[in-house]
Amino acid sequence: MRSGSHLERVLRSGKFAVTAELNPPDSADPEAVYERAQTIAASCDAMNATDASGAHVHMSSVGVCALLSRAGFEAVMQVSCRDRNRIAIQGDLLGASAMGVRNVLCLTGDGVQAGDQPEAKPVFDLDSMTLLRTACILRDKSMFLSGRKLDAPPKLFLGAAANPFVPPLDFRPYRLQKKVEAGADFIQTQYCYDVPRFRKYMEKVRELGIHEKVFILVGVGPVKTAKSAEWMRTNVPGVWIPDDVIERLKKGGKGEGKRLCVDIIQQVREIKGVAGVHIMAYKQEELVPEIVAEAGLHVTLPSNMP
Amino acid sequence: MFRFLQNSPHLLELFYSATGKALIPFRRVLKKGGTAERVFVDIEKWTKGAMFDCRMCGQCVLHSTGMTCPMTCPKEMRNGPCGGVRADGRCEVLPDKPCVWTQAWIRSREMPNYGNDILHVLAPVNRRLKDTSAWINHLHPENLNPPAGWQQ
């Protein structure tokens, strides 16, 4: 145990883990965070707070995670390289750990053009890989990137993202290997709607032996309708949805998105090397408890959760 | 002409190692901050600019990135593609351009000498080296050392 993280404990004990995405509110009211947390908290082992995802500003992930941790919830703080340079990020990692945050997901981040303030300056001083290694240096060597010593290192369980579904497909497993080399303890993937493609990816991952060095959580989520699936496929960067899935949603009608999500969870669960799922139910958070129950998943709640 | 060379990564990697070796005897003359550097900066801007759309980061890693300049990526990714690459291999930010990394990966597979360098993690960019001569920096590797915390 490197971090005292509840998520790490669940994963190391060999249980199938469930994480869920919490979308930070457009609000300065802490109650808005707790309301959202209550919807999903009892159905997951940890909650991810996004960091201005899609380049849209919301309450900061550091703020959300500090609130959640203080109240006894288990949070995964997403950190993106789009908005802050290495000086700001290292400070935030120390601050977050001091506030009780024990899990960090290191991301590069969407480009600023994806959001509603495309005139902003994109920073990208670090990338996801160098951010990951930087966090690792803070934790394991107890020093800043510059070599300056820390009095107390942050306690963090370090995560990274992977997208097995977009080109260059045959490079993706090697990129995962690089992330493990850079210090990733766990991985959360982009939405999986193409199980055969994911299976193929995992074959290569197992061949390289990566699944033994890192916990892989597969990203899943319910889509509302076939139309919204088509919209996501063309407009959300990095989301791959094959035609047969869209056909199924067209035919299935109401509730098919949720059934599809449950099916995918059950299918990926059988794949060797998969350690859990990460449920991203954007603006449908109320579905998370149903999905978890219908997929037959069991979660372990943190001992001090309210 | 340029397109032909861009798609001949093996030729480029041979040229890369040849220039590296050819410059070594001039190590003493080619120093940072002198007239030589100003001349080199201009030469590099012209040649690498035309060839790779070079952004003059001053710390060339082309042999680690399939002879494709990673600084032309809108996110300046030096360690592989982001997760936003479109299904047809185009860039998330600049949809009319191919993703730098889809090209880098394909080209790296045709580079017997340095092709597998793409699998190693590169250190963060040293922003102070911008607009300096990468060739002169390579002759004096102490300029290219990663931050102390990264090395130890």
The pLDDT assigned to B83 comes to: 96
The set of residues, in sequence order, having a beta carbon less than 8 Å from that of B2 and lying 6+ positions away, is B50, B51
> Does position B82 have pLDDT exceeding 90, yes or no?
yes
Q: Which residues from B are below 8 Å from A170, CB to CB?
A: 105
Does the beta-carbon distance from B147 to A133 stay under 8 Å?
A: no
Nearest to A185 by CA among A130, A78, A103: A103
B interface test, pick of A113, A175, A187, A235 with most B CB neighbours within 10 Å: A175
Instruction: Please say whether the beta carbons of A210 and A172 come within 8 A.
Output: no
pTM for the predicted model, two decimal places: 0.96
* Facing B75 at nearest CB: one of A124, A170, A177: A124
Q: Say whether pLDDT at B28 is over 80.
A: no
Average pLDDT, chain B: 92
Of all residues in chain A, the one with the smallest CA distance to B79 is A129
B93 CB neighbours in chain A (<8 A) are: 111, 113
Residues B46-56 have pLDDT tens digits of: 999 999 999 99
Which residues in A lie closer than 8 A to residue B76 (C-beta atoms)?
Answer: 124, 127
Mind listing the pLDDT tens digit for each residue in B10-21? 988 888 888 888
> A250 vs chain B: nearest CA distance in angstroms?
22
- Tell me whether residue A54 is exposed, middle or buried, using C-beta atoms within 10 angstroms of its C-beta: 0 to 12, 13 to 18, 19 or more: middle
- B46 CB contacts (<8 Å, ≥6 apart)? none
Domains of chain A: 6-294 (3.20.20.220)
> What residue type is assigned to position A192 of the chain?
C
Residues 6+ apart with CB under 8 A from A196: none
Domain boundaries, chain B: 2-143
Provide the pLDDT for residue B152: 65
CB contact set of B98 (below 8 Å; sequence gap of 6+): B89, B90, B91
Measure in Å the smallest separation between the Cα of A237 and chain B Cα atoms.
Answer: 5
**Average pLDDT score over residue span B74-88:** 96
pLDDT for position B21: 84
Q: What are phi and psi of A21, to 5 degrees?
A: -90, 135
- Mean pLDDT across the stretch B2-26? 84
Buried b (16+ CB within 10 A) or exposed e, A17-28: bbbbbbbbbeee
Backbone angles phi, psi at A278, to 5 degrees: -120, 110
ipTM field? 0.94
Handedness of CA B42, B44, B49, B51 (dihedral sign): positive
Local confidence pLDDT in tens for the 306 residues of chain A: 668 899 999 999 999 999 999 999 999 999 999 999 999 999 999 999 999 999 999 999 999 999 999 999 999 999 999 999 999 999 999 999 999 999 999 999 999 999 999 999 999 999 999 999 999 999 999 999 999 999 999 999 999 999 999 999 999 999 999 999 999 999 999 999 999 999 999 999 999 999 999 999 999 999 999 999 999 999 888 999 999 999 999 999 889 999 999 999 999 999 999 999 999 999 999 999 999 999 999 998 888 787
Which of B76, B78, B82 is the mutation pick for testing A, counting most A CBs within 10 A?
B82
